[in-house]
Amino acid sequence: MGLKEFLTTREAAKLLNISQSTVSRKFDRGVLFGKKNPITGERFVSRESITAFMKKYNLSMEGLALQLYRVLLGTPDDQLSSFIQKTFSEDKRIHFERMGFGCDLLIRCSKERPDLLILDEDLPDISTAEVIKSIRRMEEMKDLKVLFFSKTKTNRALEWGADETLSKERIEEGPLTRKIYSLLNLSIFRPDQEQIYKHKRRSPRAALNVPAKIRIYRRSSPNLLGDPARTVLENISSGGAYLNDIRLRRRGLPGVPFGFILEVDHPPLKGLEVHCKVVRLESNGALAAGVQFMNLTQEHQRMVESIFQ
């Protein structure tokens, strides 16, 4: 499969490490160029334009040479969506797009065929059986790979036309990565596998949806900055966590190195309080952060590890 001439704004944002809205603004101002869908107004950025932009601002060109694989994720389940996308967050070859309704999913497939379709049985408007059957009736979609998530209907989904199934009762990272890489016909190790191997997460992770608070402080000073900010703890390992929907009050983030104190007052981590080093910040409509735990007490370490038992 050759490299695509035009990329969606989501794909361009992932390559440039900026938000999708920023890509759209640069497209509208002529900084990036390409083409627009005359009916929907959807923007498609040319690879040539992205290459010129990267060269102009001396950005890394490594990701540009990779073939991008588009995965369409059909689920209303925020926890499932978050877990899948976080699992593959380090692989720049794979781009996820999420739809919460079956009608939107079918329309999106008809506009641009994905490389893989992931379906959740709990679509609110159309049964997943009808979604799969509708896709198989389209000539250009007959060989589209489909991964189906279900609590009870895994065998029936294969009869409907799904290629692979996984149970929603217990979602594990290993089977998930093996099946998705297999369906995309990709090697599990990424092209820059040696570098990623050194930083590979060795501890298990669990998907959560727990309200929490963070207090921000300068690394050079113990003084806290402003009021606590609300967030949602979505993904946790024994060494760190992923915080989504961070809601800052008045002040933004400081312009100097800073850290978080994470406080949780809801089960299963009620009473957890830990200093965190910020290792990754993301902003695409909502602020999110990947953090590393610093100096966990033995009590809190046991609390975190109990989630994986």
Decide if pLDDT at 38 tops 80.
no
pLDDT at 284: 57
Question: CATH number for the domain including 298?
Answer: 2.40.10.220
Which residue has better confidence, 8 or 210?
210
pLDDT at 201: 46
Domain assignment of residue 238, yes or no:
yes
DSSP, res 67: P
In contact, 260 and 245? CB cutoff 8 Å: no
In contact, 260 and 276? CB cutoff 8 Å: yes
Say if residue 138 is in the same domain as residue 86: yes
pLDDT confidence band for 264 (50 / 70 / 90): very high
Residue ranges making up the domain that contains 10: 6-64
Domain assignment of residue 194, yes or no:
no
| Amino acid in position 202 | R
| Residue 277, CB-side half-sphere exposure with 13 Å CA sphere | 7
pLDDT confidence band for 269 (50 / 70 / 90): very high
Decide if pLDDT at 118 tops 50.
yes
Say if residue 81 is in the same domain as residue 182: yes
pLDDT confidence band for 223 (50 / 70 / 90): low
Report field, pTM of the whole predicted structure over 0.85: no
Domain assignment of residue 198, yes or no:
no
Average pLDDT of span 219-231: 74
Q: How many domains does the chain have?
A: 3
Instruction: Read off the pLDDT of residues 47-74 as tens digits, 9 standing for 90 and up.
Output: 888 888 888 877 766 666 666 788 999 9
Average pLDDT score, the chain: 81
Say if residue 216 is in the same domain as residue 304: yes
Domain assignment of residue 199, yes or no:
no
Q: Which of 157, 189, 221 marks a domain boundary? A: 189
Instruction: Give dist(CA 172, CA 229) in Å, integer.
Output: 31
pLDDT at 196: 38
Domain assignment of residue 196, yes or no:
no
Average pLDDT of span 217-232: 76
Decide if pLDDT at 1 tops 60.
no
Query: From the centroid of its chain, how far is CA 9?
Result: 15
pLDDT at 110: 82
Say if residue 54 is in the same domain as residue 78: no
Instruction: Give dist(CA 154, CA 259) in Å, integer.
Output: 44
Q: In the β-sheet with 6-8, what is the strand arrangement from edge to edge?
A: 6-8, 43-46, 34-36
∠ Cα 148 151 154 (to 5°): 45
| Residue with tokens 């005359």, as numbered in its chain | 38
